[in-house]
């Protein structure tokens, strides 16, 4: 791949474009399809006025990018963060297109975001912001058009507000407009843990490939939010040894394995993992380059870069987060023969369970958790095998293989539909 500046390296849109171009070239993708798929199909910017608790009016900027609707309604989360950018949302939207295609579910890709630090807003300010954002997007979203879900700093409550606002405008309850809702208003059993469960399933498959067992596999996880904490809990229960956890404000290390139940209890009580007495404090940046078998970045983008990739000691990286590894770092990891399970496969458990939620909402019939977990297990194991087979057949790394598989599926749909004519 070409040499890039650090700024370019850290731009998520450029990062996805670098992988897309490489994979498209390997596939000999026609020029027209290349043009279609390298550009989002729709980008919406909204400016959202909110009456704050102290009587002031603030105006927040929000985005919704629909990258592709070729294979079905656009699908993707909504994140609240002070450093959201349009390029980041574009990248995340296109990753959703590729992710849904990798697991072969009938969705396109989208992503939304609002530039806001949610910690600085009261609950009622957050509710007003969410409802107004939803109202601004009303004609562009819907169960057959674009289905949102939680992402960083949004949760089941955010989805309940979005669902209610959309339903008020439609004059009827429309549960399938968002996924990741509370179970009692149309959410799916098993959705909350699904991304973490998916991370475990693909790690299990990697262990099988390398003849390793769970009990002697040491894991370090970055991020102890929805993805990281659920992966930690499920994997610890399954016998894996979680030796390190890194959060933005501190980390924990224990060579014999951290007791995750105790840590979850501590975090719920203290709202932080820092100070947990069952492990030693550790530098969160150091944890990324500490000796382990599997490193699971499950926090945010751009944490494995040209600056630290050479020092990584993990044999396997399983990307719970979206875009944690830059394209430049990919090359370094490939030289070191690190087995990377790329984000568009590793964290696809979330969108797969979201697909189940959408199906259940439309059926009006709700599955048991056992059925959800079995279906998830089946889809992720198949997808892992598809990606690894593609990598071996085309002599490319897993990430490029996943992109090639996804681009191939989306391109095939567009050719058959003929929507470029
Ligand atoms: P979250 O907000 O629940 O958790 C993120 C955690 O990471 C928080 O605890 C936060 O404090 C921590 N964190 C943030 N920056 C950090 C840093 N630089 N170093 C260490 N810790 C840091 O979010 P989430 O839903 O768990 O999402 C995490 C990642 O997984 C995101 O990239 C998201 O897009 C991706 N993802 C989430 C889902 C899902 O179902 N929630 C599905 C697919 C992908």
Q: What is the pTM of this model?
A: 0.96
The residue-averaged pLDDT of 36-44 equals: 96
CB 243 within 8 A of CB 219: yes
What are all long-range contacts of 276-282, with beta carbons under 8 Å and residues at least 24 apart? 276/252, 278/254, 279/245, 279/252, 279/253, 279/254, 280/252, 280/253, 280/254, 281/250, 281/251, 281/252, 281/253, 282/244, 282/246, 282/250, 282/251, 282/252, 282/253
Question: Whose CA is closest to atom 42 on ligand 1?
Answer: 350
Residues 326-383 have pLDDT tens digits of: 999 999 999 999 999 999 999 999 999 999 999 999 999 999 999 999 999 999 999 9
Pick the atom of ligand 1 nearest to 300's CA: 32
pLDDT at res. 10: 87
Strand partners for 294: 219, 316
pLDDT at res. 420: 56
| Cβ 247 under 6 angstroms from ligand 1 | yes
Question: From ligand 1's centre to the CA of 228, what distance in Å?
Answer: 7
Tell which one of 180, 299, 341, 347 to mutate to probe ligand 1, the residue whose CB is within 8 A of the most ligand atoms: 299
Residues 65-91 have pLDDT tens digits of: 999 999 999 999 999 999 999 999 999
Question: From ligand 1's centre to the CA of 225, what distance in Å?
Answer: 6
Q: How far is CA 279 from CA 181, 231, 241, 251, 276, in A?
A: 34, 18, 13, 9, 6
Pick the atom of ligand 1 nearest to 343's CA: 44
pLDDT at res. 63: 98
Q: Is the pLDDT score of 1 beyond 70?
A: no
Q: Which two tokens stand for residue 339?
A: 């087995």
Question: From ligand 1's centre to the CA of 321, what distance in Å?
Answer: 6
| Cβ 246 under 6 angstroms from ligand 1 | yes
Percentage of the chain exceeding pLDDT 70: 99
Q: Is the pLDDT score of 139 beyond 90?
A: yes
Q: Is the pLDDT score of 419 beyond 90?
A: no
- Active-site residues, by number, are 111
């Amino acid at each position: 791949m070409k040499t890039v500046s650090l700024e370019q390296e850290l731009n998520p849109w450029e990062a996805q474009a670098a992988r897309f171009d490489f994979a498209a070239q390997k596939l000999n993708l026609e020029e027209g399809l290349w043009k279609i798929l390298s550009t989002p199909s729709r980008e919406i910017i909204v400016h959202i006025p909110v009456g704050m608790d102290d009587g002031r009016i603030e105006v927040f900027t929000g985005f919704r990018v629909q990258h592709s609707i070729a294979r079905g309604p656009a699908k993707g989360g909504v994140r609240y963060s002070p450093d959201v950018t349009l390029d980041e949302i574009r990248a995340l939207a296109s990753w959703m297109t590729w992710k849904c295609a990798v697991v072969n579910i009938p969705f396109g890709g989208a992503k939304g975001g609002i530039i806001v630090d949610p910690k600085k807003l009261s609950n009622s300010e957050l509710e007003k912001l969410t409802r107004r954002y939803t109202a601004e997007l009303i004609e562009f979203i819907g169960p057959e058009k674009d289905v949102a879900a939680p992402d960083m700093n949004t949760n089941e409550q955010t989805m309940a507000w979005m669902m209610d606002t959309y339903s008020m405008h439609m004059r009827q309850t429309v549960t399938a407009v968002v996924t990741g809702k509370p179970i009692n208003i149309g959410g799916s059993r098993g959705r909350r843990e699904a991304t973490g469960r998916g991370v475990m399933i693909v790690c299990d498959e990697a262990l099988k490939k390398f003849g390793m067992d769970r009990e002697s596999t040491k894991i370090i996880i970055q991020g102890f939010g929805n993805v990281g904490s659920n992966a930690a809990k499920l994997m610890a229960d399954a016998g894996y040894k979680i030796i390190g956890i890194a959060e933005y404000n501190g980390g924990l290390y224990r060579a014999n394995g951290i007791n995750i139940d105790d840590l979850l209890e501590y975090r719920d009580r203290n709202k932080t993992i820092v100070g947990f007495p069952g492990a030693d404090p550790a530098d969160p940046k150091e944890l990324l380059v500490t000796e382990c078998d599997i490193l699971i970045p499950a926090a945010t983008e751009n944490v494995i870069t040209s600056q630290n990739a050479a020092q990584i000691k993990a044999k396997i990286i399983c990307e719970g987060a979206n875009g944690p590894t830059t394209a430049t770092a990919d090359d370094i990891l490939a030289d070191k023969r690190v087995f990377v399970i790329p984000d568009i496969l590793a964290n696809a458990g979330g969108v797969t369970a979201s697909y189940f939620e959408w199906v259940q909402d439309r059926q009006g019939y709700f599955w048991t958790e056992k059925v959800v977990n079995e279906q998830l297990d089946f889809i992720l194991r198949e997808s892992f095998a598809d990606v690894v087979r593609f990598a071996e057949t085309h002599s490319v790394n897993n990430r490029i293989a996943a992109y090639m598989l996804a681009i191939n599926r989306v391109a095939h749909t567009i050719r058959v539909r003929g929507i470029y004519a």
